[in-house]
């Protein structure tokens, strides 16, 4: 079973993502901020991480950079989730090492398609 770590500071968005992913066969873990997300990633070694960009403390871009620079985690696929959808924002996500960029609001079907493609 593939492990997915959702790192999102808004509990309602985190819940929506979890409910969507529960339709598939994933082991789902959640973190409410970047620092907890990093600690869980190091412990769990997820196959895929869904990261909110704008979070207090360690933001999604910083977390993505740390994951991708960690030899134990660099194969973890990372999807950035953000309301910021400008070309410059996408460029920053690419520079951080993100595998995909999903603009909020996204449809549950779009989320499932991206997760299934990257996690398998």
pLDDT of residue 20: 95
Q: By residue range, what is the domain housing residue 91?
A: 2-119
For the purposes of burial, counting CB atoms within 10 Å of the CB of 119, is it exposed (0-12), middle (13-18) or buried (19 or more)?
middle
Report, as ranges of residue numbers, the positions in the chain whose pLDDT lies below 50: none
Number of folded domains that form the chain = 1
Nearest to 4 by CA among 25, 55, 98, 15: 25
């Amino acid at each position: 079973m593939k492990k997915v770590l959702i790192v999102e500071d808004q509990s309602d968005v985190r819940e929506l993502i979890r409910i969507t992913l529960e339709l598939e066969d994933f082991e789902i873990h959640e973190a409410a901020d970047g620092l907890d997300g990093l600690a869980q990633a190091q412990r769990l070694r997820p196959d895929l991480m869904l990261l909110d960009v704008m979070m207090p403390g360690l933001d999604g871009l910083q977390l993505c950079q740390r994951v991708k620079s960690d030899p134990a985690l660099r194969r973890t696929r990372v999807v950035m989730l953000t309301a910021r959808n400008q070309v410059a924002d996408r460029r920053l996500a690419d520079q951080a090492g993100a595998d995909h960029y999903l603009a909020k609001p996204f449809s549950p079907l779009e989320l499932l398609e991206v997760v299934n493609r990257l996690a398998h």
